[in-house]
Amino acid sequence: MRLIEVRDLQKVYRVGVETIRALNGVDLRIERNDFIAIMGSSGSGKSTLMNMLGCLDRPTSGTYLLNGKDVSHMGAAELARVRNEEIGFVFQSFELLPRQTALENVELPLVYAKGGWRDRRPRALAALALVGLSDRVHHRPNQLSGGQRQRVAIARAILNRPSILLADEPTGNLDSATTVEILAIFRKLHDDGQTIIIVTHEDEVAAHCDRVVRLRDGKVISDLPILEDSAGRHRGGSGAKGSLEHGALGAC
């Protein structure tokens, strides 16, 4: 069973008399442990697709199977549960709660979880250790740098061990050195088996991924693996191997 299977996804917005087809028949298949970049110019529908994949929004038509479950017709409460258990979000502007410490921010998904709240401390600490922030556990967001804030946000996103980690322009607010650090964390998570989807318009970011999906006017115009050589960057062996498999899939 595929992790994600999207068929003929449409999202139509009506603004006054105008009809905007933000997504105009998107087909997409994503396997477990994929590391995908979604690219495209501004207004091409990246964020809309992202919201759809993250179960924040429902499509106008089409189907979206997540882990074999059709989530395209779920109610708000059901979608919230799916988001809590299956999805981890990383946003461009971090979205940390300003009055809470890093630890409390990371624990937030467990507030709304069915179980797991009992061992929230060790889990949140482990997630913070994974992003290299063990020494900033009790700092508040305004006491952290941009890169550190985004690392807290990543720790929060992976806390519930989601099926997918969705990141919308995660490095958009960061300088290039910090961008590299954040991408290294994504790479590490991917190596640990995490499925990751990053929305970006930067080629350097996309080059860190294994597969690039390009959108234009709400349609997928290309879906290709990034090969080790063409990217020209150092990769872990497993990542390279994975990308070849995905490339084959994307072609069919």
Partner 1 sequence: MLNPLFWYQAIALAFSQIWANKSRAFLTALGIIVGVASTTSVIAALTGLKSKVLTQFESVGASKVFIFPNRPDDKPRNLYPWEKVRLKIEEARALRDECESIRAITPITEVGLEVEAGDRKIEGLSVTGIWPDWHEIQNRSVTSGRPFTNIDESNERQVCLVNDDAIKELHLPTDAVGQFINLGGRRFLIVGVIETVQSRFFGLNTSSAEIFIPFSVAEKFQPRDYFLRIEALLKSPELADEGTAEMRWILRKARGIPAGDTESFQVEAIDRFIQQFKTLAAGITAIAGGIVGISLLVGGIGIMNIMLVSVSERTREIGLRKAVGATPNAILLQFLLEAITLCLVGGFVGLACGRLIAYGLTKIPDAQLDEANIPLWAVVLAFAFSAGTGLIFGMFPAIKAARLDPIEALRHE
Ligand X SMILES: Nc1ncnc2c1ncn2[C@@H]1O[C@H](COP(=O)(O)OP(=O)(O)O)[C@@H](O)[C@H]1O
The reply on whether position 40 binds ligand X by CB under 6 A is yes
* One of 83, 149, 214, 246 touching partner 1 (CB under 8 A): 83
Q: Smallest distance from the beta carbon of 19 to ligand X, in angstroms?
A: 10
Q: Smallest distance from the beta carbon of 16 to Mg ion, in angstroms?
A: 22
Rounded to a whole number, what is the largest CA-CA distance in the chain?
Answer: 54
Structure tokens at 78: 């059901």
Stretch that binds partner 1, among 60-68, 76-84, 176-184, 186-194 (CB under 8 A): 76-84
What amino acid is encoded at 156 in this protein? R
Q: Which does 43 bind (CB under 5 to 8 A by kind): Mg ion, partner 1, ligand X, none?
A: ligand X
Round to whole Å and give the CA distance between 182 and 17.
Answer: 42
Structure tokens at 103: 């630890």
* One of 8, 69, 70, 112 touching partner 1 (CB under 8 A): 112
Structure tokens at 82: 């799916």
243, 225 contact by CB (below 8 A): yes
35, 247 contact by CB (below 8 A): no
The reply on whether position 22 binds ligand X by CB under 6 A is yes
Round to whole Å and give the CA distance between 74 and 84.
Answer: 14
Round to whole Å and give the CA distance between 82 and 88.
Answer: 10
The reply on whether position 234 binds partner 1 by CB under 8 A is no
Structure tokens at 224: 């290709």
Looking at beta carbons, which residue is closest to Mg ion?
47
Residues that bind ligand X (CB under 6 A): 13, 15, 20, 22, 40, 42-48
Chain contacts with partner 1 (rule: CB under 8 A): 51, 54, 56-57, 76-77, 80-81, 83-85, 89, 91, 95, 97, 99, 107-115, 117, 120, 156, 160
